[in-house]
Chain A
């Protein structure tokens, strides 16, 4: 039986450091998913001080990256399949399914994910994917709204996001959303919580570095909803915001709150130019 002395443990940990040095980030790795080219690096939008925006895919281990390169390998697609069943399922007082109105399938929504969140003049408010799904369910299907950050909603968001795969994120930050965007920007740079950290401290000041045993990314959301290896399920943008806030021991804003909506707009715009990845795979 091996005995683990303190020095042996330290040596093992140092060896792990050496090992992680060999798992460097490969900025030149190329992502193509079943033939669709994905832009994982793009010139940063004007309002940012950094030169380049980089997808979270680039920061993951090569085995994780490989899992996303093929729609069969990607476990997120299991949930897209489930959402397809949901798409065809009659739900609500009007006896309709999504398919009843959207007769050309989810393909009708090519381009939508790339623009969200966006101001909707008819609705008189900023809408994200969850908002659109529920608005249509309630109004046209007479169905119950789906709960955000729960499997059924996350799967549907993934199905519709998939239709914009490869298209550049192009979220408007001016006009009717200008104030919301400014609020989101302020939240991003405000330190909160017991650990007194802002989003920017990790995702702007330290992307590419390790935080404990994790490789930090820029915190982009072009790959959301994402299948995380950690919880083996789809994760939505605002669920992840909540998780991040809890990690720094702050009282998180509520999923669906004005704060998270503003933050979602701002964070989406930080990735303008990166491709929508369809549901991605992350740690």
Chain B
């Protein structure tokens, strides 16, 4: 497990059915791209978060396949639209096999 990986998500507490709203996510991760070399000149192997997914009540909202060119502490902003109350789940997959997740409840008035 990469060290000190902490997700942060921003989801509104409530939304109107059928009306799109913004979601933002951030996660602390070095995103070692595989392009850097250590002081001896040896390449430092790639170790990044390669996949991100946002789902709501089991249905997919948004996914991304990341490469080494995504900056340290990957950031996403995207929109969701839902019809009912429920829970957003966010999942990040790491090259080293780890999985990080977070979730947020939302009510539809």
Q: Chain B 19-31, CB within 8 Å of chain A: the 1/0 string? A: 0000010111000
With beta carbons under 8 angstroms apart, the residue of A72, A82, A151 that contacts B6 is A82
A75/B6 in contact, CB under 8 A: no
Tell me the bound Cα distance from A72 to B10 in angstroms.
Answer: 7
Main SS at interface, chain A: helix
B8/A81 in contact, CB under 8 A: yes
Q: Chain A 72-85, CB within 8 Å of chain B: the 1/0 string? A: 11010111011001
> How many chain B residues have a CB neighbour from A under 8 Å?
12
Q: Chain A 54-92, CB within 8 Å of chain B: the 1/0 string? A: 000000000000000000110101110110010000000
Question: How many interface contacts (CB-CB < 8 Å) are there between A and B?
Answer: 29
Judge whether B47 is part of the interface by a CB distance below 8 angstroms. no
B73/A72 in contact, CB under 8 A: no
B28/A78 in contact, CB under 8 A: yes
> How many chain A residues have a CB neighbour from B under 8 Å?
12
Report B45-91 residues with CB < 8 Å from chain A CB: 71-73, 75
Given known A72-B24, A72-B26, contact A78–B71 (CB-CB < 8 A): no
B72/A82 in contact, CB under 8 A: no
Report A135-164 residues with CB < 8 Å from chain B CB: 151
Judge whether A232 is part of the interface by a CB distance below 8 angstroms. yes
A81/B6 in contact, CB under 8 A: yes
Q: Which residues of B lie under 8 Å from residue A151 when comparing CB positions?
A: 4
> Can you give 11 contacting A-B residue pairs, CB < 8 Å?
A72-B8, A72-B26, A73-B24, A75-B26, A75-B28, A78-B6, A78-B27, A78-B28, A85-B6, A151-B4, A232-B72
